[in-house]
């Protein structure tokens, strides 16, 4: 059994966010829009360009999401997507890329449990924790 984060984006930013995540992490991106759903099966209240389902596959990791036409656009609370990088240099670069245009909550730096750790909220309102592994 495995857990996979599913992110909801208010304001129609799912495609932009997932294309950015693919730039940052690499991996295989798949996006299905509301227009691609069978007639009558799309997301209620969404236009045709709205993302019904996006997935980014990287190794054994899977990040999924969609636009949320009913969302209020408010900040996500009580969750964070956690990413474990293969080394300190790539973790620092990924953290900086995610934080660009967002808000750093904890700068990326060595901590007692990791060679490097940082927390931020990206420009799409998604909280992230980036870790470089045990010291």
Mean pLDDT by 10 residues, the chain (135 residues): 87 94 98 89 81 95 90 76 95 98 97 97 96 88
Per-residue model confidence (pLDDT) at position 99? 98
CB 30 within 8 A of CB 14: no
Nearest partner of 65 among 129, 103, 10, judged by Cα = 10
Structure tokens at 125: 């309102």
Residue 5's pLDDT is what? Answer: 93
**Confidence (pLDDT) at 46:** 79
Question: C-alpha angle 101/21/114, rounded to 5°?
Answer: 80
The model carries a pTM of 0.91
Alpha helix positions (H), the chain: 14-25, 88-99
Nearest to 124 by CA among 67, 85, 69: 67
Residue 36 DSSP class: G
Q: What is the pLDDT of residue 11?
A: 83
Beta 81-84 vs 61-67: how paired, if at all?
Answer: unpaired
The predicted pLDDT at position 73 comes to: 67
How far apart CA 27 and CA 129 sit, in angstroms, is 19
Fold of the CATH domain 6-67: 2,3-Dihydroxybiphenyl 1,2-Dioxygenase; domain 1 (3.10.180)
Q: For the domain with range 81-131, which CATH number is right: 3.30.70.270, 3.30.1330.40, 3.10.180.10, 3.90.1150.170?
A: 3.10.180.10
Domain boundaries, the chain: 6-67, 81-131
| pLDDT, tens only, 45-82 | 778 888 999 999 999 999 999 998 777 766 677 899 99
Q: Which residues contact 78 (CB under 8 A, 6 or more apart)?
A: none
């Amino acid at each position: 059994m495995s857990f996979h984060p599913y992110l909801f984006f208010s304001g129609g930013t799912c495609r932009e966010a997932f294309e950015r995540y693919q730039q940052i992490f690499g991996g295989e991106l798949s996006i299905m829009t509301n227009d691609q759903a069978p007639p009558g099966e799309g997301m209620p209240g969404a236009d045709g360009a709205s993302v019904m389902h996006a997935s980014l596959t990287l190794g054994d990791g899977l990040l999924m999401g969609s636009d949320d036409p009913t969302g209020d656009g408010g900040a996500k609370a009580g969750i964070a997507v956690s990413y474990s990088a293969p080394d300190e240099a790539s973790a620092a670069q990924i953290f900086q890329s995610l934080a660009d245009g967002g808000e750093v909550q904890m700068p990326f730096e060595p901590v007692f449990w990791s060679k490097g750790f940082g927390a931020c909220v990206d420009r799409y309102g998604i909280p992230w924790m980036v870790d470089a592994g045990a010291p």
